[in-house]
A and B are shown apart, each in its own frame.
Chain A
Amino acid sequence: MRVVARLLLGPSVVVAVALIVKGYTKVGDGFAAGMVVGLAVALNAVALGARGAEEALPVLRHAPRVAAAGAALALVSGFFPLALDEPVFSHRPGPDEKVVSVGTAELMTAVSFDVGIFLLVVGVVTVLVHQLADPDQEHST
């Protein structure tokens, strides 16, 4: 179980990235991607216990920061047009402009907004899982 949990984490992140990148053309978006990673984290927590998972994956410690960063990224992607005197959520590149793409990944602000959602969902879900799994050491003793 532990091994599986550990092993699944990597692929889950890959799947999540794929979901985001493909999201604009195929099924999937930031919410789904976030939930995939969140599930992997939850699996870790189930397998190792919240504290164990935190020790095994110190990255998890940054979950609140990840959530905040996601919110900030989404906010910026949504509201930067205001600085250019356009309505909010007018994404760049605009309609009929060429999109630079790296492979199938397209670089545009809508995608960065999606990435923001992804980060936020990951962060929030991780926090939720860990808090509920292990509310407060002082009380559970």
Chain B
Amino acid sequence: MADATTDATTDASVAPTSRPRLDVQGWSCCAAAAAGFVVCLVGWLRGGATVSLPWAPTLGVRLDFAFDGLAALYALLATGVGAVVFGYGARYLSQHLADHGRPRSERWRFWPWMALFAVAMVGLATATDLVLIFVFFDLTAVCSYFLIGFDRERREARTAALTALLVTIVPAVALLAGAVLLSATYGTFSVPELVERAEPGTTTTVAGLLIVVAALAKSAQVPLHFWLPRAMEAPTPVSAYLHSAAMVAAGVLVLGRVHPLLARSEVVLTVLLVVGLTSIAVGGVLALGRDELKQVLAYSTISQYGYVVTLYGMVGAAASGAAAFYVVVHAVAKCALFLSAGAVTTATGEDRLSHLGGLGRRLPVLAGATGVAAATLAALPLTGGFFSDELFFGAAKEQGPVLVVAAVLAAALTFAYIGRYWMRLFLGPTGTTPAPLSRVLVVPVVLLALVALVVGVLPAPITQLAEDAGAVSHAAPVALSPAYHLDLRATNVMALAAWTLGGLLLAVTGLRDRASRALAVAGDRLGPRRAYTASVLGLRRWSGRVHDWETRDLRSSIAAVLVPAGALAAAAFASTPIAQAYSVGPISGTDWLVLPLLALTGVATVVAARTRERLSIVLALSAVGFALAAVYALQAAPDVALVAVLVETMLTLVFLAALARLPGTEPRRESAPRAGRRWRDPVIGAIAGLGAFAVIWGYLSEPREAPSVSADQIRLTPAAHGKDVVTVIVADFRGLDTLGEITVLLIAAVGVATLLRRGRLWLPRPGRPGARRSSCGWSPGSCWDRASWSPSP
């Protein structure tokens, strides 16, 4: 694969049509992915490895990575398919950006996310800690959000990105909930340990269901499938990667990882079976009727991952191995199909089947390669798809006649829709004449088709990989033996039946199209997408209303803080026993001096609240401050008292200085407040005061437990070479806090400077008159800033 990409590189650089310059980012991503592929391959051949580092030891969360069979399979997919897609994308993106008139620098909005996508996928594949899995799971969702919304000037792209994000991330919380549930019961987040400890029961079932919900939403299974067809707004390489090796595969990857747990609950397995089969049917039927290329493929993906989910719903070594095999074959085929769809659209400018046709004559190579990919999905012999369906049929056969019928019908449906897709695209009358295609857009498709063919002839390596992966999912060794048998064994009969039925479906066009359309309409009317839209709109309306109310004016904002705070305090009170909670407290010695000071404080406070004169406010405030400072001094807190006196003095000065600058010394009387309003503020103030009284009195009356922390600190003070415990606490024991606090001071000073002198910390030196004027020149922002801040003339 590494060699192939090097060839492709030279292709792009010499291709005469390559208008834009070489996409360095894209090719380096491609090279990195190819290197990653080699590393993963070597790692797998060497038998894997595990890494375990502590992350949050107190929570029992570890950075657990295991490069086992399952990890190898998905990591190889993510890097291998990644390398092909990135190579294709390097050419495609330049064209895409040029077509939309966007600058080349937009690549920086694309490739970093693609690379992160691949990294997240490899991380997810190797992670064996549920919390870690959750993190990577969401990381893929975040990457997909930015990639799907890459054409951000288009509304559909933005909506699609948001839908994909919400539909996959909100259920992902269920994964975390399931993880926490399991951890609370069994004391670990590690999947292998959970597999050892977990027992069948309600907890395991509920946790399993929660995890399944997250995984199914990610794998776009009914009824949370609707985000995937919308996500087709993404550029083609993103779609290809998303569908074959990354985002959607992440769901079944998680299923495969925790499958030993899921297998302990019949309920979970039944859910998987039902959802899987429904998805096959819904996806397949809808794919039959779609007109847009990528829509057909999107519904096909839903249907194909339905196969995998169904396989995980069947218990057994064969099913687990088949699921792994299926994922690989599907990834290769689906990626090729997407890339070819992108190439077709690039060449013709059309993306609808009804406008296309007969391309096989103009683009024979592409038609052949796409045909192989389509045949792989349709499970024709000589392609890997034949074996994946053989394994699928084999697994179904073990489950009984119902599943046999279902499996045949599913395969027939797949045969029909992919056959329709290929025939409409490449056979028949010519729809739109294609422009010549860059080889870089065709080579990856051919490459993937070759892989599919090789697997069809030589299935051994993939079988080995699938056996290793299946062994992880099944928690026991798995043996697969895909091979051609020229006899009438059950799997062959089933395959023949499927092809026949599929061929019939292809032939009866009218009935087929009508059924598909009816299902599509029904889905639109009643489907989950409508519910999703309604809930998003409702949420937004609600949020808007709250926001409007909260920011109406400052009072509302304050109320928005005070009322919930009050409600919380009330709730705390309601749930606290009140027995002997309130005590008057003893009064002794110097306390008789303190009482009048406190009374003075109270009076000064009331004066500060009542007076209308600014000067009186300031004086009252400083009276409050000094009285309290005296209180502190009498309460054996000399350090606080000292600082309080100094701070109060300073504050008084600062207040006076600020007030002196304010125009209109006389604050106007509140202009005739409405009758009801006059008493509103005092009443609110009184209620707040009473509430604070209840809280503070209750808090202060609470008999303190032995002040162990303080006692320790007092005991340790001599060891810290100090005698004043308070100072030692500030400078030593809690030094880090103090550091944070003085940083606040520094920030406050910078803030003041920004507000008052536009960021200049100091006035320019007198005697250099030019210096001040020049302040407008040093930054582009300062000139308009000045305009806006200028006082009225």
Contact = CB atoms under 8 A, between A and B. Distances in A.
Contacts of A55: 766
Nearest to A139: B791
B752 A132 contact: yes
Given A28-B639, A89-B736, A120 B727 contact: no
B630 to A, nearest CB: 15
Contact of B762 (A35, A61, A91): A61
Interface stretch (B45-53, B451-459, B573-581, B643-651): B643-651
Interface string A117-141: 1001101110111111111111110
A36 interface: yes
A133 B657 contact: yes
B199 to A, nearest CB: 43
A29 B727 contact: yes
Interface in B752-793: 752-753, 756-758, 761-763, 765-766, 772, 789-791
A35 to B, nearest CB: 4
A36 B719 contact: no
A18 to B, nearest CB: 12
B658 interface: yes
Given A42-B653, A74-B742, A26 B724 contact: yes
Interface in B698-727: 716, 719-724, 726-727
Contacts of A23: 724, 727
Nearest to A22: B724
Contact of B661 (A38, A95, A135): A135
Interface in B627-677: 638-639, 642-643, 646-647, 649-650, 653-654, 657-658, 661
A31 B643 contact: yes
A140 B661 contact: yes
Interface in A72-103: 74-75, 78, 88-89, 91, 93, 95-96, 99
Contacts of B745: 120-121, 124
Contact of A89 (B647, B735, B757): B735
Contacts of A27: 638-639, 642, 724
What is the predominant secondary structure among interface residues of chain A facing chain B?
Answer: helix
Given A55-B766, A124-B748, A131 B724 contact: no
B762 A64 contact: yes
B732 interface: yes
A24 B722 contact: yes
A108 B731 CA distance: 11
Contacts of B642: 27-28, 32
A106 B643 CA distance: 23
A114 B765 CA distance: 31
A67 interface: yes
A31 B765 CA distance: 29
B657 A26 contact: no
Nearest to B641: A27
A138 B758 CA distance: 12
A110 B738 CA distance: 12
A110 B722 contact: yes
A64 B759 CA distance: 12
A121 B742 contact: yes
B654 A117 contact: no
B654 A136 contact: no
Contact of B731 (A54, A113, A139): A113
B493 interface: no
Nearest to A135: B756
A139 B731 CA distance: 41
A13 B538 CA distance: 64
B646 A35 contact: yes
Contacts of A120: 742, 745-746
Interface in B162-199: none
A129 B723 contact: no
Most buried by A among B646, B647, B765: B646
Contacts of B722: 24-25, 110
A136 B758 contact: yes
A63 B746 CA distance: 12
Contacts of B649: 39
A6 to B, nearest CB: 17
A74 B763 contact: no
Given A24-B721, A46-B653, A67 B749 contact: yes
B222 to A, nearest CB: 54
A99 B719 CA distance: 11
B560 interface: no
Contacts of B599: none
A94 to B, nearest CB: 9
Contact of A71 (B646, B743, B762): B743
Most buried by B among A29, A75, A116, A120: A29
A131 B742 contact: no
Nearest to A38: B650
B686 interface: no
B739 interface: yes
Contacts of A135: 661, 756-757
A120 B739 CA distance: 11
Contact of B756 (A63, A114, A131): A131
Most buried by A among B722, B726, B765: B722
Most buried by B among A55, A78, A138: A138
A124 to B, nearest CB: 4
Contacts of A78: 735-736, 739
B763 A137 contact: yes
A2 interface: no
Contacts of A38: 646, 650
Given A29-B730, A64-B761, A124-B749, A35 B650 contact: yes
B654 A30 contact: no
Contacts of A106: 721
A35 B752 CA distance: 18
A69 to B, nearest CB: 11
Contacts of A116: 742
Contact of A132 (B643, B654, B733, B735): B654
Interface string B236-256: 000000000000000000000
17 contacts: A23-B724, A25-B723, A28-B642, A29-B639, A31-B730, A32-B639, A32-B643, A35-B643, A39-B649, A63-B761, A88-B736, A89-B736, A91-B735, A113-B735, A117-B731, A124-B748, A124-B749
Q: Which 9 A-B pairs have the closest CB atoms?
A: A35-B646, A95-B719, A89-B735, A64-B761, A25-B723, A24-B722, A29-B727, A135-B756, A124-B749
Interface of A: 23-32, 35-36, 38-39, 42, 46, 51, 54-55, 61, 63-64, 67-68, 70-71, 74-75, 78, 88-89, 91, 93, 95-96, 99, 106, 108, 110-111, 113-114, 116-117, 120-121, 123-125, 127-140
